[in-house]
Every structure is written in C-alpha cells, then in structure tokens.
Amino acid sequence: MTRKLFGTDGVRGTANTHPMTAEMALKIGAAVGRYFRKDHSAAHRVVIGKDTRLSGYMFESALTAGLTSTGMNVLLLGPVPTPAVGLLTTSMRADLGVMISASHNHAADNGIKFFGPDGFKLSDEAEMEIEALVASGVEPAQARNIGRAKRIDDGRFRYIERVKSTFPQGMRLEGVKVVVDCANGAAYKAAPEVLWELGAEVVPIGVAPNGHNINADCGSTKPQVAAEAVVAHGADVGICLDGDADRIILIDETGTVADGDQIMGLLASRWAEEERLAGNALVATVMSNLGLERFLQGRGIGLERTGVGDRYVVERMRGGGFNLGGEQSGHIVMTDHATTGDGLMAGLQFLAEMVRSGKRASELAHVFEPVPQLLKNVRYEVGQTPLEDAAVLAEIARVEADLVGKGRLLIRKSGTEPLVRVMAECEDEALLNLSVDGIVNAVTAAL
C-alpha cells in the first residue's frame, strides 16, 4: 500500500485544501483514535499541541471531535514546541501525542504529526494502518463512552523545566548576550524564558505571532534578520528556531550563519572526547555535507547516513543504539534527553560549550570547511511526475557521469511540499553550478 496522506513528517498541506481540511482532520482524528484504542477500554488519553498558525484553532477542534468520538480523552496544551509534545506524551502517560504544525512552512500551510506512547514519531507501518482506517471509516464509540477534552495550562512550564535540566548543573549564562529568533512560532514564550532563567541577557525577536507571520522573514529558514540583530546588539551568539522549534540555526558574533552540520560536528567531536558518543558515530541524512563526513573520519568517528527526515534519523539511532543525530537543516536529536529534534535544547548544548571552553561562537560554530554544495527546488503541481520524464532521466544520467570521482548528486521529491529538490556537491564550483542548473532546467521543461 502506498501512503497518500502521510509524507516524511505527518500530514501536511495548505489549510482548507485537501488533505488539510477540517473534514479530513476529523476523519484522521477518529482513525488514529480507533487505532490507539483497540481494546475499547475507557482509560485512553491523547495530548495535542500546536504552533501559532491561525488554522491551528480549526484543526485543534476537528481533531478533538474525531478523537473524542472514538472515546479518547483529549488534553489540549495550546502553543508549545513539537519536542514538548513528545515529552508530555510520555510524562502524562498518554497513548498518543499530536502536534499541529507545518514546521518551517509558510503560515498558509499546516500539518499534523503523531507521536506514539513512547514519545517517538510513528513508524511508516503505523501510518499506513491509520490511512487504511481513514479510507474505510471507523465506528464511533457508544454515547456513554465518548471522550472528554481538557485544557492543560502548564504544559509550557513543564517543557521549560525539562529543557533547563539538560544544561550542566551549576553552570550559568551570566555575561552571555543571546539573540533568539523564535520565528513567531511555538517557542515564542518558552525560548526567551529558558535563556533568561539560566542567566543570559536575551534579545528576543520573532516573538509577536499574529496567526499569519510564522516563519515570515524570520526563523531558521530566514536567519538574516537575526544575524543583523547579533551585530547591532553586540551579542555573543544568535539562536534561530523554526515555527515549531524542532530546528536550530546558529549565528556567531560576526553574524555568520552555521547550519546543523556544523553543530553536529561540534557536539560529536566533544562527546567523543568525553566518551559519551554512543557507538562512536553520528547519524545524519544524505543531505549532510561531505565536509562533515571528512571531519568526523579525521577524528575516528563514524557517520551513519539515512534518508531525509528526522524520523528516519531517529529510527536509525534507536536501531543502532546511537545517541546523537540530525539534519543539515537544523534538526538535532539527542536521545539521552529527547525523542525528537529540539532546537532550544541543542542551542543550550552549544552555549554550554561556549561557557566551558571560554571560546567565542565563531571558534566553535565552524569546525569544518564544507565542500561547495548547491540546492535548488522546482515546484510542481499535484499529479505531475517530472522525475519520470525521459529527458530528465537522461540529463540526470549525464550529470552523474560528469560527477564521478568529483562529487555527488542527490535528487528527490520533498516529503513536506510539492517540490523536486536538486542537490549536488563538488569541489569544482563551475561544474557544480552547471550540474544543478542542467537538471533544474530539464525538470522545468518537463513541467
């Protein structure tokens, strides 16, 4: 069975357009409620969090209706980061966690992510079973067994305490000025509060959500404003989160941006020195830079690569017993502390290293020289299949032949948006540009 609803990170799309409609959210809620309430007993609960998108109200209500119709008791957390849902699913002994968010996408999009009772995202197999239930429909609970809904007011504070507990005991951030860009998203209160409570001087930006401005020229995908703020305020470091705060991009004191690969390289090398890097390896995706791989090899550290998506990184980490992984885009997963990527938690690990070492952010955030990498996206309409076009396939084969021994090529459909992503790495930047542009032009012509 091919999944039609679920992508690499739950169900996602433009609000009020299939599949992200209130009607479909109600069906999904009922299906996932039935999936997790197979024994029909009464003691079943689900926690629901959301980011700051306007459509979050609509989907929260629709999911609640679907879930309670099958007898699930719903605990509503309000706006909290995605990792808070993973945390609270386990700490509140829930059968299921739901996060309503389209992560780094623009405000018109929204999505629904699911966590199992262990706090980890659902497997492909579980999502396929839920899709089958959506398609076939589910029998609602009898009237006396309908679930209840209750709002939980302290979810954010529980999360804050958990994040702070990962920062070294006895260490404080006095004298450290931090710009934190919350992308007008789910961490707009939690992130500044955590940093302030640990003693930092905080310069918050992206903390005025209005339902429409999440990720709008701010956050981890648009770090330029934060970079300017770091320089203007003379800050020591900048932390950029995305809309649901499971990603981080760092900015050093000069305004230079560092991606997830650099952060993972720093943490992996530090943890290996302390003999706490499980399996002596880092788990990253096929998107991570070749420079990271060379950096790790030079320190005797392995690199395990997976498909794109933090869910697949976590699956490999759990299967191989690794405790550090992530994505170039800024998902940093530390399974000693959390079940999914946590941008704020990763930022605290970086700040702790700054305090411990006495080094500036610029000395820590750029641990390797990346191989030139170019990524371009081509948007397509639903139903189009440009990667099956003969001319596109011929161009891909030509570029792959040109790059043999010189670099690598990765082409894939995005799992969260209708985009074809064309990425290449090559020391020869002229060849790099020709390679990517040739395929992009072929895909565009096919469309």
Query: What number of helices (H) and strands (E) belong to the chain?
Result: 14, 19
The distance of Cα 361 from the centroid of its chain, to the nearest Å, equals: 23
* Equal fold, 6-153 vs 177-370: yes
Residue in the structure block whose two tokens are 């409620």: 33
Instruction: Tell me which residue of 252, 258, 182 sits closest to 218, measured CA to CA.
Output: 182
Homologous superfamily in CATH for domain 177-370: Alpha-D-Glucose-1,6-Bisphosphate, subunit A, domain 3 (3.40.120.10)
Q: What is the pLDDT of residue 174?
A: 97
DSSP 8-state code for residue 426? E
Separation in Å, CA 302 to CA 168, 268, 317, 325: 26, 10, 13, 12
The amino acid at 138: V
Q: What is the pLDDT of residue 343?
A: 98
Residues facing 413 on adjacent strands: 420
pTM above threshold 0.95: no
| Residues recognised as catalytic | 103
The distance of Cα 427 from the centroid of its chain, to the nearest Å, equals: 29
The amino acid at 19: P
* Kind and range of the H or E run holding 36: helix 22-36
Burial of 166 (0-12, 13-18, 19+ CB in 10 A): middle
End-to-end CA distance of the chain: 27
Q: What is the DSSP string of 214-253?
A: TTTT-STT-THHHHHHHHHHT-SEEEEE-TTS--EEEE-T
Structure tokens that stand for 202 in this block: 């905080």
The Cα–Cα gap between 70 and 361 comes to 51
Cβ neighbors of 164 (< 8 A, separation 6 or more) are 194, 197, 198, 348
Helix, strand, coil content of the chain in percent (nearest 5): 40, 20, 40
Q: Where are the domains of the chain?
A: 6-153, 177-370, 373-446
Alpha helices in 37-123 (DSSP H): 56-69, 82-91
Q: What is the pLDDT of residue 234?
A: 98
The Cα–Cα gap between 362 and 256 comes to 8
The Cα–Cα gap between 292 and 364 comes to 14
Query: For residue 162, which phi and psi values (nearest 5 degrees)?
Result: -65, -45
What's the CATH code, domain 373-446? 3.30.310.50
pLDDT tens sequence for the chain (447 residues): 566 788 878 899 999 999 999 999 999 999 999 999 865 555 699 999 999 999 999 999 999 999 999 999 999 999 999 999 999 999 999 999 999 999 999 999 999 999 999 999 998 899 999 999 999 999 999 999 999 999 999 999 999 999 999 999 999 999 999 999 999 999 999 999 999 999 999 999 999 999 999 999 999 999 999 999 999 999 999 999 999 999 999 999 999 999 999 999 999 999 999 999 999 999 999 999 999 999 999 999 999 999 988 889 999 999 999 999 999 999 999 999 999 999 999 999 999 999 999 999 999 999 999 999 999 999 998 788 889 999 999 999 999 999 998 889 999 888 777 899 999 999 999 999 999 999 999 999 998
Q: What is the pLDDT of residue 39?
A: 58
The Cα–Cα gap between 340 and 332 comes to 8
Burial of 305 (0-12, 13-18, 19+ CB in 10 A): middle
Q: What is the pLDDT of residue 418?
A: 85
Alpha helices in 107-187 (DSSP H): 124-136, 155-164
Query: For residue 384, which phi and psi values (nearest 5 degrees)?
Result: -80, 145
Cβ neighbors of 195 (< 8 A, separation 6 or more) are 173, 178, 180, 202
The Cα–Cα gap between 250 and 238 comes to 6
Q: What are all long-range contacts of 275-278, with beta carbons under 8 Å and residues at least 24 apart?
A: 276/323, 277/301, 277/323, 277/324, 278/321, 278/322, 278/323, 278/324
The Cα–Cα gap between 59 and 431 comes to 46
Residue in the structure block whose two tokens are 């530390």: 334
Instruction: Tell me which residue of 329, 286, 318, 278 sits closest to 304, measured CA to CA.
Output: 286
Alpha helices in 148-289 (DSSP H): 155-164, 190-197, 224-233, 260-273
Cβ neighbors of 106 (< 8 A, separation 6 or more) are 214, 215, 216
CATH 3.40.120.10 for domain 6-153, yes or no, is: yes
